[in-house]
Amino acid sequence: MRDSLHGKEDFAYAIDSYGSSVYRLAYSLLRSRQNAEDIYQEVFTNLYTSSKEFENDYHLKSWLMKSTSNRCKNFKRDLARRQETASDMQDDAINAEAIVATHQNAEQYEYVWDVVDQLSENLRSVIYLHYVEGYSTEQIAEITDISAATVRTRLFRARSKIKVVLEGGES
């Protein structure tokens, strides 16, 4: 990674290196392929037009994760504001199920999405960043603009909830 993004070459590098992470985070938060693609497009369009300085790969990836997380948050908020929550969320849920069904080993992982769907967006976000991207609590704090202690709290709550759901209890 260069000191900053310069032109299409670096832009392609950013997509090649972190496109999958952006897409997966957006999908994990929104649970819709179409919405994940929209967020992805927004994030990288923003990256392309921005002159943000990046000190290294870690900085670039953190920025992308933060931008993705914030845009997903705004997307949901905007959705709720437009009073379309009920019908759209139903559509998204149906959409998500259909997508999962097209994946290889979809059945094996169906229970995973059943559990994830019971987590709030804040909890999904920290779980994704910690368990999939491997970020520490301090790094997640930087990305999500919350304190490290709050990250630990959310991880604790997410784990507790996951455990309860896995054990078949009420969430």
Partner 1 sequence: MSKKRTSTRDFYEDYRRALMEIKPDPDFFDRMIEEIPKLAENRTWEEPEEWNESSEQFQSDIEPAKYKVIKPKKWLAVAACFVVLVGLGVALFPHIENFGLKNDLVITEAYAENNKQLMAFNLYHEGLGYDNEDYTSNILWGEKYFSFNFLCQGTEGDYVVYRFESPDISVVPEDPEFKSFIIPERDDRTNELKLPVNEPVRGMLLVKIDPKNEALVRSLESGYGEGDEASITNDALKTINGTNLTISCYENGEVIKENTFIMTCDYNYTDQDVIHEVGTPEPTVLVSLERVE
Window 40-59: residues binding partner 1 (CB under 8 A)? 40-41, 44-46, 48-53, 55
Burial of 143 (0-12, 13-18, 19+ CB in 10 A): buried
Considering the complex, state which of residue 48 and residue 92 has its C-beta at the smaller distance from partner 1.
48
Kindly state the smallest distance separating residue 90's Cβ from partner 1, in Å: 19
> What is the CA 105 to chain-centroid distance, rounded?
21
Kindly state the smallest distance separating residue 65's Cβ from partner 1, in Å: 11
Considering the complex, state which of residue 17 and residue 88 has its C-beta at the smaller distance from partner 1.
17
Please name the amino acid found at residue 63: W
**4 is a site residue for partner 1 (CB under 8 A):** yes
Helix axes 85-102, 33-49, angle to 10 degrees: 100
**67 is a site residue for partner 1 (CB under 8 A):** yes
Phi, psi of 53 (to 5 degrees): -85, 135
In sequence order, the β-bridge partners of residue 53 are 4
Considering CB under 8 A, how many residues would be counted as binding partner 1? 79
Q: How far apart are the first and last CA of the chain?
A: 43
Kindly state the smallest distance separating residue 93's Cβ from partner 1, in Å: 15
Tell me which DSSP letter residue 53 carries: B
Site string for partner 1, 134-153 (x = CB under 8 A): -----------xxxxxx-xx
Kindly state the smallest distance separating residue 87's Cβ from partner 1, in Å: 22
